[in-house]
Every structure is written in C-alpha cells, then in structure tokens.
Homo-oligomer: A and B are copies of this chain.
Amino acid sequence: MRKLIAVCGSDSDDPNLSDFALRAAEKVGYLLARKDAVLVCGGGGGVMEAACRGAKKAGGLTIGILPRDKEYANPYVDIGLTSYLGRARNYILVRSCEVVIGIAGRWGTLNEIALSLNVGKPTVVIRGTGGWADILSNGEVQNLLRNFSTRPFIANSAEEAVEIAFKVIRQR
C-alpha cells in the first residue's frame, strides 16, 4: 500500500494566513510527492490547496477527504472523497495517514493535530507559519507541555518537516 501523509492547515478564509505558510505548504506537497508519498488533506483551499498544487507539480497523487460534496474541493485534488460528515471528516483524515504535518491553522487544524497526538501518531508542525503551528512551537507553550507524554515535532522549514516525517516512518 502507498504511504499516506496528511497536511493540515488553514483554509483560504483565514485572514492571518501568510504567503510564507502557503509556500511552506506547497513545498511540503512537492517534497512528499517526490518521495512517492500520497498527500491526504481536507481537500479545501489555503494550506490544503497549496499542498495539493505542490504535489501535482511533482506528479504526485492527492486525496481530499471532503466535508460534503465536490464543490469544496480545490482544483488539485485527484481523489475527492465526498464524506458528507462535516468536520467529522477530520477524524478519517488523521486516522488514515502515517504522519500529520500541521501548517498555520486555527481551531479546525488544532482539532486534527490534537487527535493525531491523542492516538499517538507522529505529528509535525512548521514553526513560522502562524496560527496553532506557531503557538505549539512557542517556548512557553513547549514548557507547559513538558509533562505530556506526546508532543508535536517542531520543524523550521518544509524540508525539515518532510525529513522528520520520513524519519519517523522508517523508525516504526
């Protein structure tokens, strides 16, 4: 079976979503596809669209687990699963992948990151992309999380995030 790696992050309606975050997402998608991983995401805009675009530039395969019908899908989704489960589709997304990579992100993204860490799945956030990826990378928050048995990996770039993702897959 193909390796599935999830990218979670802000939809295009996040007013704080930065170009830096979108470039990181596109680069992550590109690098995942280059390493023959299948990109799985929520199928929408913003970070999800950038990651899918990157994956398609590298000839990869993209899966969007859509909250409802095909209307929501960005143009770079190859396989759109029209779940009709609303945000409960986050659960399937997280459960179905080997690693979750979080970029920027508001409460929906945090919902996915928290589930991922809750089920013990390796989870990487990219520092500098804003939103919850940055909050979880913050030194004070890292300190508050010191007693938690699982914590996200912190990457400083798209490259490092993908490197961590493949390293944890190899070690499993």
Chain A interfacial positions (CB closer than 8 Å to B): 1-2, 4, 15-16, 38, 63, 70, 73, 77-88, 90-92, 95-96, 106-108, 110-111, 114-115, 117-119, 134-135, 138, 140-141, 144-145, 147-148, 150
Contact = CB atoms under 8 A, between A and B. Distances in A.
A92 B84 CA distance: 8
Nearest 6 pairs of A and B residues by beta carbon:
A107-B118, A110-B114, A111-B114, A107-B117, A81-B96, A88-B91
A155 B119 CA distance: 29
B82 A85 contact: no
A121 B138 CA distance: 26
A118 B108 contact: yes
18 contacts: A1-B73, A1-B77, A1-B79, A1-B80, A15-B147, A38-B79, A81-B81, A82-B96, A83-B95, A84-B86, A84-B88, A85-B92, A87-B118, A107-B114, A114-B114, A135-B141, A135-B145, A141-B144
B80 A87 contact: no
B84 A95 contact: yes
Copies in the complex: 4
Most central of A70, A85, A88, A90 by chain B CB within 10 Å: A88
A93 to B, nearest CB: 9
Most central of A16, A38, A77, A108 by chain B CB within 10 Å: A108
